[in-house]
Amino acid sequence: MDSIKRRDNITDQELLDLLDDPNEDMNLSFVDDEQNIFGFIATYSLKGGNDKIPLPVLFNLYNIWSKESITKNNLRNQLKDLFKIDSNDNVYLELKESQISDMLLKVLSKKERTEKSAKHLHKMLNKFLKDSEIESGTVFIQDYVLFALYSRRINTKMRFKAETFTSGLKNLLEYKVDVHNTYWFGINKDNLGLSQEEMETARMLYEKEKTIKKI
């Protein structure tokens, strides 16, 4: 049986499966490079309208649908001559006439928000470490101790939650986890200039936020 599947025959569920498993291999037949964008438009019956769709959402969909990679700027350049695109990179389409299901749009939109949040988290934590003159090292400090320093520097209303803070640091510093599920991060200093009271307050806040999340 021929395993080649035309792109216009891929179902929503198969696209969602690809989102869940980026390593899944699906063989697709291709048209010429110049026709890719028109094939994409035809597959989803895209027409100009009044519904605003963020370009990153269409970018995610396009790169799931096609195995031929494309940059976001390239996709924008190809779409701008066909559809209205505003200064915030929203593409104006008529969703009721499209073949983009509400479920697929919801998943793609969530994926876009998640990617934006991850980039923001990475950027802000990098700044926090730089401002605090903290780098990777051999001195292991509990997560809540670093969180205490972070909370001192960042306005309470703007700071990340405790577990989000730890999750972000895991991508920036070496870490270990003890039997109490406390993360210890390897840094270049053992004195962060924090009082015992500040560290204990941070530990209690940390545990409280973890408990609230589990309920």
pLDDT tens sequence across 65-96: 876 777 888 888 889 889 999 998 889 998 88
Does any domain span residue 110?
A: no
Residues 209 and 127 in one domain: yes
Contact 64, 19 (CB under 8 A): yes
Q: What percent of the chain has pLDDT over 90?
A: 16
Does any domain span residue 113?
A: no
Helix, strand or coil, per DSSP, at residue 198? helix
Residues 71 and 129 in one domain: no
Residues 91 and 21 in one domain: yes
Residues 96 and 123 in one domain: no
- pLDDT score for 66: 78
Tens of pLDDT, residue by residue over 163-177, are 888 888 988 899 999
| C-alpha span between 181 and 186 (Å, rounded) | 16
Tens of pLDDT, residue by residue over 20-72, are 554 444 433 333 444 578 888 888 888 999 988 888 888 888 877 876 777 88
Does any domain span residue 78?
A: yes
Mean pLDDT, the chain, whole residue set: 77
| C-alpha span between 179 and 85 (Å, rounded) | 52
Residues 93 and 180 in one domain: no
Contact 184, 177 (CB under 8 A): yes
Does any domain span residue 41?
A: yes
The two tokens of residue 182 are 């406390």
- pLDDT score for 14: 58
Q: Is the pLDDT of residue 151 over 50?
A: yes
Q: Cα 71 from chain centroid?
A: 17
- Confidence bin at 140 (pLDDT 50/70/90): very high
Task: Provide mean pLDDT across the span 3-12.
Answer: 47
Residues 90 and 134 in one domain: no
Domain that holds residue 23: 5-100
Question: Alpha helix locations (H) across the chain?
Answer: 12-20, 36-43, 55-65, 72-79, 102-131, 143-153, 162-169, 196-214
Does any domain span residue 48?
A: yes
98 vs 107: which has the higher pLDDT: 98
Instruction: Specify the residue for token string 């390593």.
Output: 23
Domain's final residue, options 55, 71, 100? 100
Residues 151 and 70 in one domain: no
Domain's final residue, options 33, 68, 100? 100
pTM listed for this prediction: 0.49
Residues 93 and 125 in one domain: no
Using the Cα atoms of residue 56, residue 15, residue 36 and residue 47 in order, give the sign of their dihedral: negative
Does any domain span residue 146?
A: yes
Residues 150 and 63 in one domain: no
Say how many domains are in the chain: 2
Residues 79 and 15 in one domain: yes
- Confidence bin at 117 (pLDDT 50/70/90): confident
CA dihedral of 129, 130, 131, 135, whole degrees rounded to 10: 60
As a 3-state breakdown, the chain gives helix, strand, coil percent values, each rounded to 5, of 55, 15, 35
Does any domain span residue 135?
A: yes
Q: What percent of the chain has pLDDT over 70?
A: 75
- Confidence bin at 17 (pLDDT 50/70/90): low
Residues 145 and 202 in one domain: yes
Phi-psi sector, 192: left (phi>0), alpha (psi -120 to 50), beta: alpha
Residues 15 and 59 in one domain: yes
